[in-house]
């Protein structure tokens, strides 16, 4: 029966492929997302006093940045809503309190008027402090609203000395709002403290850090990041796993995000019909400094607590995320059960338990938890395997040898038997 | 004897559905002209020039395509390619490092391959992790996966038909070298393992993430998606030829054996004309 099913499927696929040229057998897989919200990007530029320094190939840092901005503004894809925010642009004084609030939106996030934006950029002059934390908070507010992807590109030449607001913590809090915001950082100075701060910000939000050495690199990288924001991606749905299976949220097929604290379990629940296969994959991002060895465990458990299948992964060393997955094909119900009633077969509630074995130095904050990405798919169950080899068919010279030998022996036996019978018939 | 599964399928399909092909000549031509992805030369056709930075944003490539990307040292770069049953994929990556004068020490690079369920897949052999000397210009990495099976038990982590993610990153470096620009090239090819790897059973859908959500939401699958000439239907295997051939040989041997017991032609003692 399996064979017949597969043969039919094969012929169908073949027909479909021929009919559509090289048409896709998997429908809609290549379709563009319909009416996706336009992605938002905010460029955050440091205009602090130190940007005057002339070390970008003879140019001052600010003029390199301005030139790069002009290039980028010319090349921004149509669908991207772009805004610009500055930090340290206005207050030249020594009062730390005032200086550390000095961030403002230079150009609002929205459809881009290139000339206007360029004029605004041209007016900038290096002035004040470097309040990165407040600037990031401001940028996150600028990008608020809608369901699009968001990106902040931070360009700076100095570390945030404003305190007590650690920009890295700010970035992690912004990421924990669940608004799919990524912060990419570009450092103009190869300095250990700046690098540490900027990599921390990038890591906390799943962004990247780049050390920029000249104007070309700067404009090239910013262009690349803006283009990256324009790439259509599926936006995940936020969910919150529970502490036990009974109270776990019920998930349909789809893409979900959650947060998980170090060493704590999360439970989710999926209803699987007979004849369906559950596919779950999960990744936990290491968005902060964690110890060198780590792992995760994803278990599919029945409502009564019996483990069905598990996926586990452990790792060591530098990583952005650790991931694992599992499959659970639920067999079709027996025909006898189905035929006597028209009742739809009951779905089985499968509980998914996600645990991690990350650990972190005591100085690292554990809340908010680490970002979790969970993919749930429900597809038809596979054709079970009845034999090791395909359809139980044979292969190889041994098979041919055995078959030839068997044929030969059968032929000889048959020949002798018939000769003997003829001989017996003649003598009678 | 080792005909590739898809080629034979294609030939068989064209033969069996000759009428359909004659009607749809363009389709027939397209099917016939399309090069098999595993057949392309080492150089590969030019692929995407960007790489994704997470599983979700992984850049889709086809086997045989050479994907390139400009990146910063320390970035995690992701690509996704489809692999079908019977193939044994090999992933190669080449990292062109920044000028050695700007670097401060050796760096260690690594590629990891994950299947469509984001389970890490083992490399049978190849340089999965390699250390670049402080004065090296490039690092070349490779990873040969196990043969992709059409079916496996849910408790096994055998490679299954579907998407495969490639992650390239630096795992060890001098702190000062973070963020420096690098250029990377990645390519996935595969060797066809023939009937020896054909197992019984088949998945209803290849392990492509989001397969079930795609049609419901009308969105694009996160990691596109299928081989250039579609997924194999799973019914063709060269084992059919072996088994049928064996049957034919057995029949011939049977006839031969029967003939041996009969001697050559008519018995000499029977007079002619009887």
Residue B264: pLDDT over 80: no
- Of A28-42, A107-121, B182-196, the poorest mean pLDDT is in A28-42
Task: Specify the pLDDT at position B138.
Answer: 95
Q: A190 pLDDT band (50/70/90 cuts)?
A: confident
How many structural domains comprise chain A? Answer: 2
Q: CATH number, domain at A269?
A: 2.60.120.380
Domain boundary among A166, A201, A230: A230
What does the pLDDT average to over A87-114? 86
Cβ pair B179:A210 closer than 8 A: yes
B131 touches chain A (CB under 8 A): no
What does the pLDDT average to over A105-110? 90
- The answer to whether the CB of B152 falls within 8 A of the CB of A382 is no
Task: Specify the pLDDT at position B116.
Answer: 93
Q: How far apart are CA B178 and CA A185, in angstroms?
A: 12
Does residue A427 fall inside a structural domain?
no
Which pTM was predicted?
0.84
Task: Specify the pLDDT at position B67.
Answer: 95
Task: Specify the pLDDT at position A30.
Answer: 37
Same domain for A80 and A188, yes or no, is yes
Same domain for A68 and A191, yes or no, is yes
B49 touches chain A (CB under 8 A): no
How distant is the Cα of B39 from the closest Cα of chain A, in angstroms?
18
Q: B266 pLDDT band (50/70/90 cuts)?
A: low
Residue A187: pLDDT over 60: yes
Selecting from B196, B226, B259 the residue whose C-beta is nearest the C-beta of A26 gives B226
Same domain for A274 and A188, yes or no, is no
What does the pLDDT average to over A355-384? 91
Cβ pair B210:A255 closer than 8 A: yes
In chain A, which residues have their Cβ closer than 8 Å to the Cβ of B169?
318, 320
Q: B194 pLDDT band (50/70/90 cuts)?
A: confident
- The answer to whether the CB of B54 falls within 8 A of the CB of A203 is no
Residue A310: pLDDT over 80: yes
Write the pLDDT tens digit of every residue in B90-112. Answer: 999 999 999 988 889 999 999 99
Write the pLDDT tens digit of every residue in A260-275. Answer: 999 899 999 999 999 9
What does the pLDDT average to over A319-348? 79
For B97, counting Cβ atoms within 10 Å of its Cβ (0-12 exposed, 13-18 middle, 19+ buried), the class is: buried
In chain A, which residues have their Cβ closer than 8 Å to the Cβ of B25?
none
Selecting from B75, B231, B239 the residue whose C-beta is nearest the C-beta of A389 gives B239
Cβ pair B207:A328 closer than 8 A: no
What does the pLDDT average to over B130-153? 94
Does residue A101 fall inside a structural domain?
yes
What does the pLDDT average to over A202-222? 91
A146 Rama sector, left if φ>0, alpha if ψ -120 to 50, beta otherwise: left
What does the pLDDT average to over A272-300? 94
Same domain for A142 and A266, yes or no, is no
Q: Best mutation site among B220, B244, B248 for testing chain A: the one with the most A CBs within 10 Å?
A: B220
Same domain for A283 and A353, yes or no, is yes
Task: Specify the pLDDT at position A149.
Answer: 84
Write the pLDDT tens digit of every residue in A49-64. Answer: 889 888 887 888 999 9
Task: Specify the pLDDT at position A261.
Answer: 93
Query: SS in 3 state form for chain A?
Result: CHHHHHHHHHHHHHHHHHHCCCCCCCCCCCCCCCCCCCCEEEEEEECCHHHHCCCECCECHHHHHHHHHHHHHHHCCCCCEEEEEEECCCCCCCCHHHHCCCEEEEEEEECCCHHHHHHHHHCCCCCCCCCHHHHHHHHHHHCCCCCCCEEEEEEECCCCCCCCCCHHHHHHHHHHCCCCEEEEEEECCCCHHHHHHHHHHHHHHCCCEEECCCHHHHHHHHHHHHHHHHCCCCCCEECCCECCCCCCCEECCEEEEEEECCCCCEEEEEEECCCEEEEEEEEEECCCCCCCEEEEEEEEECCCCCEEEEEEEEEECCCCEEEEEEEEECCCCCHHHHHCCCCCCCCEEEEEEEEECCCCCCCCCCCCCEEEEEEEEEEECCECCCCCEHHHCCCCHHHHHHHHHHHHHHHHHHHHHHHHHHHHHHHC
Residue A336: pLDDT over 70: no
| Cα angle: B9, vertex B15, B20; to 5 degrees | 105
Cβ pair A391:B225 closer than 8 A: no
Residue A361: pLDDT over 60: yes
Same domain for A67 and A214, yes or no, is yes
B195 touches chain A (CB under 8 A): yes
Cβ pair A411:B175 closer than 8 A: no
Domain that holds residue A120: 40-230
How distant is the Cα of B54 from the closest Cα of chain A, in angstroms?
8
How distant is the Cα of B253 from the closest Cα of chain A, in angstroms?
5
Task: Specify the pLDDT at position B258.
Answer: 93
Task: Specify the pLDDT at position B187.
Answer: 95
Task: Specify the pLDDT at position A296.
Answer: 96
Task: Specify the pLDDT at position B39.
Answer: 38
Q: CATH number, domain at A135?
A: 3.40.50.410
Same domain for A186 and A243, yes or no, is no
B3 touches chain A (CB under 8 A): no
Residue B214: pLDDT over 60: no
Which of the pair, A227 or A234, is modelled with greater confidence? A227
Does residue A390 fall inside a structural domain?
no
How distant is the Cα of A20 from the closest Cα of chain B, in angstroms?
7
Residue B153: pLDDT over 80: yes
Task: Specify the pLDDT at position B8.
Answer: 39
Compute the mean pLDDT over every residue in chain B, rounded to the nearest whole number: 80
Same domain for A225 and A242, yes or no, is no
Same domain for A204 and A306, yes or no, is no
77-96 of B, contacting A, C-beta below 8 A:
none
Cβ pair B56:A419 closer than 8 A: no
Write the pLDDT tens digit of every residue in B15-34. Answer: 343 333 333 333 333 333 33
Does residue A22 fall inside a structural domain?
no
Cβ pair B221:A409 closer than 8 A: no
Does residue A161 fall inside a structural domain?
yes
Same domain for A129 and A220, yes or no, is yes
Same domain for A204 and A272, yes or no, is no
B106 touches chain A (CB under 8 A): no
- Of A264-273, B5-14, B68-77, the poorest mean pLDDT is in B5-14
Same domain for A346 and A200, yes or no, is no
Q: Best mutation site among A202, A223, A231, A234 for testing chain B: the one with the most B CBs within 10 Å?
A: A234
Count how many pairs of residues, chain A against chain B, have C-beta atoms within 8 Å.
334
Does residue A428 fall inside a structural domain?
no
Task: Specify the pLDDT at position B17.
Answer: 36
Q: How far apart are CA A404 and CA A394, in angstroms?
A: 14
What are the distances in angstroms from CA A225 to CA A41, A209, A231, B60, B73? 9, 11, 10, 18, 15
Cβ pair A395:B238 closer than 8 A: yes
Residue B231: pLDDT over 80: yes
Selecting from B24, B28, B178 the residue whose C-beta is nearest the C-beta of A199 gives B178
Q: A189 pLDDT band (50/70/90 cuts)?
A: confident
What does the pLDDT average to over A396-403? 95
Does residue A56 fall inside a structural domain?
yes
Residue of A nearest to B246 (CA): A400
Cβ pair A393:B237 closer than 8 A: yes
Task: Specify the pLDDT at position B267.
Answer: 56
Tokens 């921004």: give the residue. A76
Query: SS in 3 state form for A161-217?
Result: CCCCCCHHHHHHHHHHCCCCEEEEEEECCCCHHHHHHHHHHHHHHCCCEEECCCHHH
Does residue A242 fall inside a structural domain?
yes
Residue A358: pLDDT over 90: yes
Which of the pair, A70 or B220, is modelled with greater confidence? A70
Domain boundary among A196, A230, A264: A230
Task: Specify the pLDDT at position A248.
Answer: 94
How distant is the Cα of A232 from the closest Cα of chain B, in angstroms?
8
């Amino acid at each position: 029966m399996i064979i017949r099913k597969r043969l039919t499927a094969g012929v169908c696929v073949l027909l479909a492929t021929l009919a559509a040229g090289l048409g896709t057998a998997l429908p809609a897989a290549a379709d563009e997302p319909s009416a996706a919200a336009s992605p938002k990007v905010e460029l955050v530029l440091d205009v602090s006093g130190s940007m005057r320094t002339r070390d970008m190939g003879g140019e001052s840092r600010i003029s390199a940045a301005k030139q790069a901005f002009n290039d980028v503004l010319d090349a921004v894809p149509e669908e991207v809503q772009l805004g610009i925010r500055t930090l340290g642009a206005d207050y030249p004084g020594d009062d730390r309190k005032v200086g550390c609030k000095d961030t403002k939106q230079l150009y609002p996030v929205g459809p881009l008027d290139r000339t206007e934006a360029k004029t605004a950029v041209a007016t900038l002059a290096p002035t004040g402090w470097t309040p990165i934390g407040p600037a990031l908070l401001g940028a996150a507010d600028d990008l608020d609203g809608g369901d699009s992807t968001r990106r902040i590109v931070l360009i700076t030449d100095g570390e945030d000395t404003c305190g007590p607001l650690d920009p890295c913590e700010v970035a992690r809090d912004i990421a924990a709002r669940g608004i799919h915001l990524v912060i990419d950082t570009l450092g103009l100075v190869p300095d250990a403290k700046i690098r540490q701060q900027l990599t921390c910000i990038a890591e906390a939000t799943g962004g990247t850090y780049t050390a920029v050495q000249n104007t070309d690199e700067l404009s090239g990288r910013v262009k690349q990041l803006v283009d990256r924001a324009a790439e259509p991606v599926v936006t995940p749905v936020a969910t919150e796993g529970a502490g036990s299976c009974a109270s776990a949220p019920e998930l349909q097929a789809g893409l979900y995000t959650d947060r998980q604290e170090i060493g704590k379990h999360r439970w989710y629940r999926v209803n699987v019909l007979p004849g369906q296969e559950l596919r779950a994959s999960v990744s936990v991002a290491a968005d902060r400094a964690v110890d060198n060895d780590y792992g995760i465990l994803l278990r599919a458990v029945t409502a009564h607590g019996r483990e069905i299948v598990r996926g586990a992964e452990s790792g060591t060393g530098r990583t952005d995320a650790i991931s694992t997955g599992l499959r659970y094909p639920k067999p079709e119900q027996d025909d006898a059960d189905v035929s006597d009633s028209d009742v739809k077969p009951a779905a089985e509630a499968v509980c998914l338990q996600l645990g991690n074995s990350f650990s972190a130095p005591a100085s690292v904050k554990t809340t908010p938890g680490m970002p979790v990405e969970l993919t749930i798919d429900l597809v038809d169950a596979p054709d079970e395997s009845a034999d090791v080899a395909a359809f139980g068919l044979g292969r190889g010279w041994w098979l041919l040898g055995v078959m030839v030998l068997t044929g030969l022996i059968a032929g000889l036996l048959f020949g002798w038997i018939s000769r003997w019978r003829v001989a017996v018939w003649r003598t009678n | 004897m080792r005909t590739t599964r898809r080629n034979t399928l294609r030939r068989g399909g064209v033969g069996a559905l000759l009428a359909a092909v004659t009607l749809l000549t363009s389709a027939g031509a397209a099917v016939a002209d399309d090069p098999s992805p595993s057949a392309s030369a080492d150089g590969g056709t030019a692929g995407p020039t960007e790489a994704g930075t997470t599983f979700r944003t992984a850049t889709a490539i086809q086997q045989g395509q050479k994907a390139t990307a400009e990146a910063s040292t320390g970035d995690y770069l992701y690509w996704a390619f489809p692999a079908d049953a019977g193939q044994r994929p090999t992933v190669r990556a080449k990292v062109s490092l920044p000028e050695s004068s700007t670097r401060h020490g050796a760096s260690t690079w690594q590629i990891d391959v994950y299947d469509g369920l984001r389970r890490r897949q083992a490399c049978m052999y190849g340089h999965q992790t390699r250390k670049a000397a402080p004065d090296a210009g490039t690092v070349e990495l490779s990873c040969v996966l196990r043969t992709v099976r059409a079916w496996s038990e849910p408790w096994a982590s055998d490679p299954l038909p579907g998407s495969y993610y490639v992650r390239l990153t630096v795992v060890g470096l001098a702190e000062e070298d973070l963020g420096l620009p690098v250029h990377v090239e990645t390519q996935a090819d595969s060797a066809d393992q023939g009937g020896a790897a054909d197992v019984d059973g088949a998945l209803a859908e290849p392990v492509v993430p989001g397969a079930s959500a795609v049609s419901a939401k009308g969105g694009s699958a996160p990691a596109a998606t299928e081989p250039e000439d579609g997924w194999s239907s799973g019914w063709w295997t060269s084992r059919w030829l072996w088994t049928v051939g064996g049957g034919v040989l057995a029949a011939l041997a049977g006839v031969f054996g029967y003939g041996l017991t009969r001697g050559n032609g008519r018995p000499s003692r029977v007079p002619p004309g009887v």
